[in-house]
Amino acid sequence: MSLSASFGGFIWIAFFFILALSVIVTVHEYGHYIVGRWCGIHAEVFSVGFGSVLFSRLDKRGTRWQIAALPFGGYVKFKGDANAASGSDGQVLPSLDPIQLRCTMHGAPIWARAATAAAGPVFNFIFSIILFCVLFMWQGQFTDTPKISQMFATPVVNTLQINDEIISVNGVDVFSIEDLVIAGQELVAPALYTVLRDERRVEARGPVPFPALVSQVQPRSAAIEAGIKVGDVITRIDGQALNSFADLQAAVATADTDEMLFSVWRKGSEFDITLTSRLVAIPGLNGSFENRRLVGITGGIFFEPGTEPLPFGIAITAALKRTWYIITVSLAGIKQMVLGSISACNLSGPVAIAETAGQVASQGAMPFLALIAGLSTAVGLMNLFPIPVLDGGHLLFCAYEVITGRKPSDSVLQVLMTFGLVVVLSLTLFAVVMNVIC
C-alpha cells in the first residue's frame, strides 16, 4: 500500500472516530447541562473538546458554549467548579452567598447533584434508544415471504429473476424464509426452484438458499483486513469445495491451522486470499461466553426479500431490547474478562473503536448510525462505574453523604479524584496496548 493511501486511510478513520466521539460526548454533556439547569445549577462553560478554544459564544444565561482544539471528549464546568471533573474551587466558593452557593454543584441539594451527575449516562441511553428506534423504523424489517427483491451474484447457474416468489425448492414446498433455509440445508447447487412469476408457475435453477456468501464483514476481523467484501462467494477453503455457508463454518472450525487459504469468487473472477482465524468470545445464554475460531464473515440467503415498515411500538420495543442487550453483554464480558474466562484481547479501546468507526462508515450511513448508538450505550455504562472522576464516582459520593450525613472532606476528595484519574488512564492505556498487540 502506498504512503498516500495509508495516510488517506488514517484520515478517514480519524475523521469518523472524532465525529462519532463528538456526537456521543455532546449528548452526554448536554444531559449534565440541561438537568443541572432544571435543578437550578448554573453552567459556566459547555465545551466540546479540550485545550485552546477555537470558537465560543456566550448565551443569555451566562453559559459559554465552545469548541476546543482537542476533540477527544468534552465537559460542563458548573459554577464553583475548579476543573472539568467538578472539583471544588476553594477560592470562589467561600465568597458566595447562600443563594449563589445553591447554584453550584457543591451547594445544591443532594438530589439535584445526583440527578445532574446521572443525567449524562441517562442521556446516552436515551440517545441510543432513539437512534435504534429510528433505524428500525427507517430500514424496516424483511418480510417472511420468500419473494426476491434483490439478488447477489453467484458462480452458480441462476435463472431466477427479481420479483419471483419461491414456492418450492427441489420439490419441497416453502411458505416462509425459514422454510426455505431448512429445505435447502442438504441441497447441492444448482438447486431446482418452482416460483410464481407473473402469476405463472415457472421452474428455475439457482444457488442453494444459504450459500457460502458474504452478507456482512465484521470490523477489525481477519476477513476485512484480508480484503473480503460483501457479496463475495467463498468457493473453497484450503482446496476443500464449499457448497453452503454451513460448510464454510465447519471448515474454519476444523482447520488444522489458524492460517487458511480462501478461494474467493467476485464478479466473475476468482482469486485466493490467505486469512488467519482469531479466537473470539461469543456471548451466549445467561451471561456465558463461548470462545470460537472466527474469520469475521456473516452469511445470508442469496437474495434480499422485500421490506415492510416497522410500527413505532414494535420499533421502540426493539430499540429498548437492543440497548439492554448491549448493557448486559458488556457487563457479562467484563466479568468474564476479570475472571480470566475470556481474553483481554476482546477489550475495545480507542484504537479498536477508531478502526471500527472507519470500517463501518465505509459500509454506509445506516451501519455508522448503528455504531454510534451502540457506542453511546457503552459510554453511558462506562460512566456509571463507581470510579472517582466518572459520573458513577460522583453518585458514590452522594450515596456516602446520604448514609453518613456529611460530605467527604476536600482533601479526601482530592486523593480519590487523583486515584480515579490514574485508574481511568491505566485502563485506557491497557486497552490501547491490547488493541495493538492482539
pLDDT tens, 405-422? 998 888 888 899 889 989
All structural domains of the chain with their residue ranges? 3-139+377-437, 150-206, 216-304
Bridge partners (DSSP) listed for residue 165: 147, 196
Question: pLDDT tens-digit profile of 217-270?
Answer: 988 889 998 999 999 999 999 999 999 999 999 999 888 888 999 999 999 999
What is the predicted pLDDT for the residue at 434? 76
**What residues contact residue 354 under an 8 Å CB cut-off, 6+ apart?**
13, 14, 17
User: CATH classification of 216-304, choosing from 3.40.50.970, 3.90.660.10, 3.90.1200.10, 2.30.42.10?
Assistant: 2.30.42.10
**How sure is the predictor about 392, in pLDDT bands with cuts at 50, 70 and 90?**
very high
Whether the predicted pLDDT of 436 surpasses 50 = yes
Question: What is the model's pTM?
Answer: 0.83
- 317 vs 72, higher pLDDT: 317
Which whole number is the average pLDDT over 291-302? 89
Query: Which residues pair with residue 272 across a beta bridge?
Result: 263
Which pLDDT score, from 0 to 100, does residue 252 have? 92
Give per-residue pLDDT as tens, 26-44.
999 999 999 999 999 999 9
For the stretch 330-385, pLDDT in tens is: 998 888 888 877 777 777 778 788 888 888 888 888 999 999 999 999 999 999 99
In degrees, to the nearest 5, what angle opens at C-alpha 17 toward C-alphas 122 and 213?
Answer: 100
Query: For residues 164 and 412, is the Cβ–Cβ distance under 8 A?
Result: no
Q: Which helix (H) or strand (E) covers residue 279, if one does?
A: strand 278-283
Q: What angle do CA 200, 201, 206 make, to 5 degrees?
A: 125
DSSP letter (8 states) at residue 286: G
Looking at residue 190, what is its pLDDT? Answer: 85
- The DSSP result for 142-165, as a single string, is E-SS-B-SEE---SS-----TT-E
Q: How far apart are CA 298 and CA 302, in angstroms?
A: 12
* pLDDT tens profile 307-339: 888 899 999 999 999 999 999 989 988 888 888
Tell me the C-alpha distance between 235 and 264, whole Å.
6
Q: Residue 394's pLDDT band (boundaries 50, 70, 90)?
A: very high
Per-residue pLDDT reduced to its tens digit, 150-168: 999 999 989 999 999 999 9
